[in-house]
Every structure is written in structure tokens, then in C-alpha cells.
């Protein structure tokens, strides 16, 4: 399926790439982009051949924020509806069953950082700039930024970034724990794909279960989260991938996982 504002590609090995494709507008999020993102995530959720998704942007921005030209004319009801639509898209992305990597190649501001925060892992180019500058426009983050940022880097750093609206460079984002790693721009996407390939080479059932247990467990009391882990650990011993993975280890060869 083709989309007006983004590109979706699935390569051999189970790695999909979702590229935001409005480079002349720095990939700003408007209603069409959100609609396309929602549809693409729905398509991806139904594919059994995907093991990892990489989200990135075309040009010099990941996503530079929401489209202010469109939002400028909103009344309260329209703004709320736009936020509802954005939240639904980010939530759907975050709930994909396999790992989602944000490859932040440039500006990730406002809705762009919120998009990255909806992913499981964030990697940044050394040219990246990240922030939630909405208060400078007289609004607040509306696609989950006030909640996901604090859950990622801690509430003190999150409050400082939201209240000040300042941008941070990639190296500061790394120190904060906002990104997993920073790579030079000229080798950035190759480094990200190397990491994606490493994830995709592992047992896909186990990786999906690990994501689910970590996501669901983070919202449970520790004793219940540990019980979820124990149950899931045991259930994996009934899978073909577990048998293949352990047999391959004992035979000192690469495992041939089938996702079953």
C-alpha cells in the first residue's frame, strides 16, 4: 500500500522502514501525516514477516514538530480532536508487537520527539536536535510528550525540558538517557540497520514476548510483573524457536528461527 506523506519498505530479514516524507516541510505532522501513520501501523500490525521497524525522516529532519500552519486556525474542539488522533497513532505505534527503533537523523521537535518516544529505542545522528518547545507557542505537548518523556528520562529532566522548551543536542540527549547511542551522520543509518539486524537475528517469538512483558510489567506492581515474567519464561519452552535456539547453541551453529 502507498501513502501520500510517508514511505513503507520491508527488506529481506524482517526489517521494515517507515520514512516520514515531507522534507520540504521538515516532515511536520499534519492530519494527513497522522492518518497515513495510523494506516501504515495498521498494515504493519498484520504482517508476520516483520521483526523490527525503523522509523526515520527524509531530508534534514526526523520530524520537526506538528504543522503550525494547520494548527493556527484550530478552535478548542478541533485541537482536542487533533490531539486524540495523534495519541491514537502514537499508542498504536508503541503497541506494535515487535521492537520499533526511532532513527533520529535531524530535528525531532514537538510531535517529532513524541513520535520518537512512542518507539522502543531511540538512536540519534550527531546532527540531531531534540526538544518539546510547545510552551513557546502557548500550548503544551499534545501527543504524549508530557507523559512519555518523564517515563523515559525521569521527571526532573522532563520538567526542565518541557518548562523551558529548549532544544538539546544529541550528546546531551545521550547523557540524559533520552537516546541509546549517537552516531556520526555519515554512518548513522548503517549503524542503526546493523543494530536492527542484530535484533532481527534473535528468536522473534522471544523478542516479542520480551517487549510485551516489559511494557505490561512496567505498569504493574513488582510482584505481579515478576509473575508475568515467570509465566512467559515458562511458556516460551513450548515454542519451536526455543528448541532451535538451544539446539543451535549446543551444536555451535547459527540458529534458524521460524517465529513459531
Catalytic hit among 4, 31, 76, 134: 134
End-to-end CA, the chain: 27
d(CA 104, CA 128): 6
Residue for cell digits 534473535? 202
Neighbours of 230 (CB within 10 A): 11
235 is an active site residue:
no
Helix H or strand E segment including 230: helix 222-236
254 is an active site residue:
no
Q: Which three cell numbers stand for residue 188?
A: 548513522
Say what the alpha-carbon torsion angle 180, 108, 33, 194 is, to the nearest 10 degrees. Answer: -30
Return the closest-CA partner of residue 196 out of 119, 251, 89, 108. 119
Catalytic hit among 114, 172, 186, 251: 114
Using DSSP bridges, classify how beta strands 52-57 and 167-169 pair: parallel, antiparallel or unpaired: unpaired
d(CA 101, CA 258): 22
Looking at the DSSP assignment, which residues form a beta bridge with residue 8?
Answer: 18
Just list the catalytic residues: 114, 134
Amino acid at each position: 500500500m502507498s501513502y501520500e506523506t510517508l514511505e513503507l519498505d520491508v527488506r529481506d530479514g524482517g526489517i521494515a522502514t517507515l520514512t516520514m516524507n515531507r522534507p520540504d516541510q521538515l516532515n511536520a505532522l499534519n492530519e494527513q501525516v497522522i492518518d497515513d501513520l495510523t494506516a501504515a501501523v495498521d498494515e504493519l500490525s498484520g504482517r508476520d514477516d516483520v521483526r523490527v521497524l525503523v522509523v526515520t525522516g527524509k531530508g534534514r529532519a526526523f520530524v520537526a514538530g506538528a504543522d503550525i500552519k494547520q494548527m493556527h486556525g484550530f478552535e478548542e474542539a478541533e485541537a482536542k480532536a487533533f490531539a486524540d488522533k495523534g495519541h491514537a497513532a502514537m499508542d498504536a505505534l508503541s503497541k506494535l508487537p515487535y521492537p520499533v527503533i526511532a532513527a533520529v537523523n535531524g530535528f525531532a521537535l514537538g510531535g517529532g520527539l513524541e513520535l520518537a518516544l512512542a518507539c522502543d529505542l531511540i538512536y540519534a545522528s550527531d546532527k540531531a536536535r531534540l526538544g518539546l518547545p510547545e510552551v513557546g507557542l502557548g500550548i503544551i505537548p499534545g501527543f504524549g510528550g508530557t507523559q512519555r518523556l518523564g517515563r523515559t528520562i525521569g521527571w526532573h529532566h522532563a520538567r526542565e525540558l518541557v518548562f523551558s522548551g529548549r532544544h538539546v543536542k544529541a550528546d546531551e540527549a545521550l547523557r540524559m538517557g533520552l537516546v541509546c547511542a549517537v552516531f556520526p551522520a555519515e554512518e548513522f543509518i548503517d549503524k542503526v540497520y546493523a543494530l536492527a539486524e542484530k535484533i532481527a537475528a534473535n528468536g522473534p517469538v522471544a523478542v516479542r514476548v520480551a517487549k510485551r512483558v516489559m511494557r505490561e510489567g512496567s505498569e504493574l506492581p513488582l510482584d505481579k510483573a515478576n509473575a508475568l515474567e515467570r509465566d512467559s519464561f515458562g511458556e516460551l519452552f513450548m515454542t519451536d524457536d526455543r528448541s532451535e535456539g538451544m539446539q543451535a547453541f549446543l551444536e555451535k551453529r547459527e540458529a534458524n528461527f521460524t517465529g513459531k
